[in-house]
C-alpha cells in the first residue's frame, strides 16, 4: 500500500492505496462515489471520464496512486456547477439519455466541449463525442443537448 | 479487467529514475500519462513488477526553441501540442496530428515520449517523427544519445531503447516557410487506432520530399525520396511505395494504404 493524498470534489482526502488500483475503483470503492461508472476499463468507452486538475481524463486507466496531490472532480462534484446544471437541463429536454450508464462521462465531455470549443458546430461536437459510447440514444439527443447549451451561451455573450 | 499487482515509485529527478530503472532488472516499466500502458496493464498484457512514474521530473517537461529545431520534453502531452500554445516547427502539422490522437480525455494525459516508447505501429507520432526527420533523445546508464526517429521504432511495441534508458525528448527540425505537409489516416471511428496512415512533407527550400506509410503492423515505411508522390502524384510510385512497405499484393492492407497515400497527396496543408 502507498499513501495517497488528493482533493476530491473540493474535500482533501487521504487513504492508503494499492498501486494497481485505478482512480475509478478508488473513488467507487474507497470513497463510495459511484457516479463515475466503469465500462470498458481500457479508455475507449468514456463512462469513467472525470476532471483531473480541471482537464477531462479517464479514471479507468489512471492509477489512483499517480493522482497524489491532484484535484479530482467527479460528477457528484458538479451538483452546484452552473454549466453542469445547464447541461443536465438540456439532456433532459433533448432526451439525451435512456439507461444513464454513459451519462456521467457524457456530461464531463459535454462540459469540456462547451468550455474549450465555444464555437463548435455539429460535426465538431460529434467528433469530440467519439470517445464516449452510448448504446441507447443513437447520439442525436446528446448532440442536440450540447448544441443547445452552446447556443444559449453564445446568446449570452 | 483489473491491472496485476505491481509496486510503484515516483522519483523526483532523472538521476533517481535512471538508478531505479538500472537496479530493477527486466521487471520495471516507465509510466508517464499511462494512456498506452494503462490499457495493457488492465488487459494483463504487461505484468511489470515495478512502475517508475516520471511525471514529476522537470527535465521531461521542457520545451525549447533551439534555432534550427524545437525540443519537446518527453512529458509533453498531446493536448498541449493540440492547443497550439507550443511552437510548431512543422507549420501546423503537429497540432493537426495531435487533435486526431484518441480522445481529448486521453490527450490531456498521454505524452509524446510515452507514445514513442510504447511503439504501437498505428500510433500517430510513430509515423510523423520519422517523416519530419526528428531525433529521439534518450538517456541511460551509459549517458545520453540521440537516435534518428526513423530507426527508433524497430517493430511492434519494440524500440531501439536499451533496458536502462528513458526517452528524454524529441528534437523536431524546423520546416522552411514554403514547406507543405499532408496527413491522412483511416479510422472507422475518430480517435481509434489507425487502419492506415500516409503522410507527406515537401520542403523545397531544404530539398526534401518525404513520405511515410504507417500503421503497417511494424515500424513505419519511410520513402526518403518521394518527389514522385509530392511534386506530382505518380500512381506507379505509390504502388512501388506500398509494395516496399511490405504490404502483400492483393491484400486489403495494401489497398487501404494505397488509398491513404493517394488521399494524402490530394490534401496538402
Burial class of residue B16 (count of CB atoms within 10 Å of its CB; 0-12, 13-18, 19+):
middle
Beta strands in B151-265 (DSSP E): 153-155, 158-159, 166-173, 180-186, 196-203, 208-214, 221-223
Task: Return the residue of A nearest to B80 by Cα.
Answer: A55
* Domain range B180-265, its CATH number among 3.30.70.260, 3.40.50.2000, 1.10.238.10, 3.30.390.50: 3.30.390.50
Task: Return the residue of A nearest to B102 by Cα.
Answer: A131
Distances (CA, A) of B146 to A49, A146, B96, B140, B228: 37, 46, 26, 11, 30
Q: Which residues of B touch A (CB under 8 A)?
A: 1-8, 10, 31, 34-35, 38-39, 41-43, 51, 53, 55, 79, 102-106, 108-109, 189-192
Is the confidence at residue A59, as pLDDT, over 90?
A: yes
Q: Which pLDDT score, from 0 to 100, does residue A42 have?
A: 95
Q: Are the beta carbons of A143 and A126 closer than 8 angstroms?
A: yes
Take residue A39 and report the three cell numbers written for it. 465500462
Where are chain B's structural domains?
7-53, 58-173, 180-265
- Alpha-carbon torsion, ordered B216, B169, B109, B105, to 10 deg: -50
φ, ψ of residue B8 to 5 degrees: the values are: -145, 135
Q: Which pLDDT score, from 0 to 100, does residue A154 have?
A: 94
Q: Which among B205, B199, B171, B181 is positioned nearest to B91, based on CA atoms? A: B181
Tens digit of pLDDT for each residue in A93-111? Answer: 999 999 999 999 999 999 9
Q: Which among B115, B147, B109, B110 is positioned nearest to B128, based on CA atoms? A: B115
| B98 min Cα distance to partner chain A (Å) | 13
- Partner residue facing A61 (CB), from B6, B8, B35: B35
Q: Which among A154, A22, A48, A151 is positioned nearest to A109, based on CA atoms? A: A48
Q: Are the beta carbons of B156 and B218 closer than 8 angstroms?
A: yes
Residue range B7-53, CATH number:
3.30.43.10
The verdict on domain B58-173 having CATH code 3.40.190.10 is: no
What distance in Å separates the CA atoms of residue B248 and residue B255, rounded to the nearest whole number? Answer: 9
Q: Which pLDDT score, from 0 to 100, does residue A61 have?
A: 98
Q: Which residues of chain A neighbour B102 with C-beta distances below 8 Å?
A: 43, 131
Residue with cell 526528428: B134
Mutate to test the interface with A, among B50, B78, B100, B104 (most CBs of A within 10 A): B104
Order of all β-strands in the sheet with A55-58: A11-17, A2-8, A71-73, A49-52, A55-58
Interface predicted TM-score (ipTM): 0.96
Mutate to test the interface with A, among B2, B36, B79, B103 (most CBs of A within 10 A): B103
Q: Percent of chain B, pLDDT > 70?
A: 100
Delineate the domains of chain A, giving CATH numbers in brackets. Answer: 2-77 (3.10.20.30), 81-156 (1.10.150.120)
| B246 min Cα distance to partner chain A (Å) | 30
What distance in Å separates the CA atoms of residue B200 and residue B99, rounded to the nearest whole number? Answer: 18
Q: Which residues of chain A neighbour B46 with C-beta distances below 8 Å?
A: none
Burial class of residue B142 (count of CB atoms within 10 Å of its CB; 0-12, 13-18, 19+):
exposed
- Partner residue facing B34 (CB), from A2, A66, A68: A66
Q: Which residues of chain A neighbour B7 with C-beta distances below 8 Å?
A: 19
**pLDDT tens for the 269 residues of chain B, in order:** 899 999 999 999 999 999 999 999 889 999 999 999 999 999 999 999 999 999 999 999 999 999 999 999 999 999 999 999 999 999 999 999 999 999 999 999 999 999 999 999 999 999 999 999 999 999 998 899 999 999 999 999 999 999 999 999 999 999 999 999 999 999 999 999 999 999 999 999 999 999 999 999 999 999 999 999 988 899 999 999 999 999 999 999 999 999 999 999 999 99
What distance in Å separates the CA atoms of residue B154 and residue B170, rounded to the nearest whole number? Answer: 17
A16 phi-psi bin (left φ>0, alpha ψ -120 to 50, beta other): beta
Distances (CA, A) of B36 to A42, B119, B123, B151: 9, 10, 10, 21
- Partner residue facing B104 (CB), from A25, A41, A112: A112
Q: Which pLDDT score, from 0 to 100, does residue A134 have?
A: 98
Subunit contact B103:A22, Cβ cutoff 8 A = no
Amino acid at each position: 500500500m502507498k499513501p495517497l493524498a488528493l482533493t476530491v470534489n473540493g474535500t482533501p482526502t487521504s487513504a492508503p492505496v494499492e498501486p494497481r488500483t485505478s482512480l475509478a475503483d478508488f473513488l467507487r470503492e474507497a470513497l463510495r462515489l459511484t457516479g463515475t461508472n466503469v465500462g470498458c476499463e481500457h479508455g475507449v468507452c468514456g463512462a469513467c471520464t472525470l476532471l483531473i486538475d480541471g482537464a477531462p481524463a479517464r479514471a479507468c486507466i489512471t492509477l489512483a496512486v499517480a493522482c497524489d496531490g491532484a484535484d479530482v472532480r467527479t460528477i457528484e462534484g458538479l451538483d452546484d456547477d452552473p454549466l453542469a446544471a445547464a447541461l443536465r437541463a438540456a439532456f433532459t429536454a433533448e432526451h439525451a439519455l435512456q439507461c444513464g450508464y454513459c451519462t456521467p462521462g457524457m456530461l464531463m465531455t459535454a462540459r469540456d466541449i462547451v468550455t474549450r470549443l465555444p464555437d463548435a458546430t455539429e460535426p465538431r461536437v460529434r467528433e469530440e463525442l467519439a470517445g464516449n459510447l452510448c448504446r441507447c440514444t443513437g447520439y442525436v439527443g446528446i448532440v442536440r443537448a450540447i448544441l443547445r447549451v452552446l447556443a444559449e451561451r453564445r446568446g449570452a455573450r | 479487467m483489473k491491472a496485476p499487482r505491481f509496486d510503484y515509485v515516483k522519483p523526483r529527478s532523472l538521476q533517481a529514475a535512471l538508478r531505479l530503472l538500472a537496479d530493477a532488472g527486466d521487471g520495471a516499466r516507465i509510466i508517464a500519462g499511462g494512456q498506452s500502458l494503462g490499457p495493457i496493464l488492465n488487459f494483463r498484457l504487461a505484468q511489470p513488477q515495478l512502475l517508475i512514474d516520471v511525471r514529476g521530473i522537470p527535465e521531461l517537461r521542457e520545451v525549447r526553441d533551439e534555432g534550427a529545431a524545437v525540443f519537446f520534453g518527453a512529458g509533453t502531452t498531446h493536448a498541449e501540442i493540440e492547443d497550439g500554445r507550443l511552437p510548431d516547427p512543422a507549420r501546423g502539422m503537429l497540432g493537426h496530428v495531435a487533435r486526431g490522437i484518441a480522445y481529448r480525455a486521453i490527450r490531456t494525459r498521454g505524452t509524446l515520449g510515452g507514445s514513442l516508447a510504447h511503439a504501437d505501429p498505428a500510433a500517430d507520432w510513430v509515423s510523423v517523427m520519422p517523416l519530419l526527420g526528428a531525433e529521439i533523445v534518450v538517456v541511460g546508464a551509459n549517458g545520453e544519445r540521440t537516435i534518428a526517429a526513423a530507426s527508433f521504432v524497430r517493430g511492434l511495441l519494440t524500440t531501439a531503447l536499451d533496458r536502462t534508458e528513458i526517452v528524454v525528448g524529441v528534437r523536431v527540425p524546423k520546416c522552411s516557410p514554403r514547406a507543405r505537409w499532408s496527413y491522412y489516416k483511416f479510422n472507422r471511428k475518430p480517435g481509434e487506432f489507425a487502419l492506415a496512415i500516409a503522410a507527406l512533407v515537401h520542403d523545397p527550400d531544404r530539398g526534401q520530399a518525404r513520405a511515410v506509410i504507417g500503421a503497417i503492423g511494424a515500424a513505419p515505411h519511410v520513402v526518403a525520396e518521394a518527389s514522385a508522390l509530392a511534386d506530382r502524384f505518380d500512381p506507379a510510385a505509390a504502388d512501388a511505395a506500398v509494395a516496399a512497405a511490405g504490404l502483400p499484393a492483393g491484400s486489403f492492407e495494401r489497398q487501404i494504404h494505397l488509398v491513404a497515400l493517394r488521399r494524402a497527396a490530394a490534401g496538402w496543408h
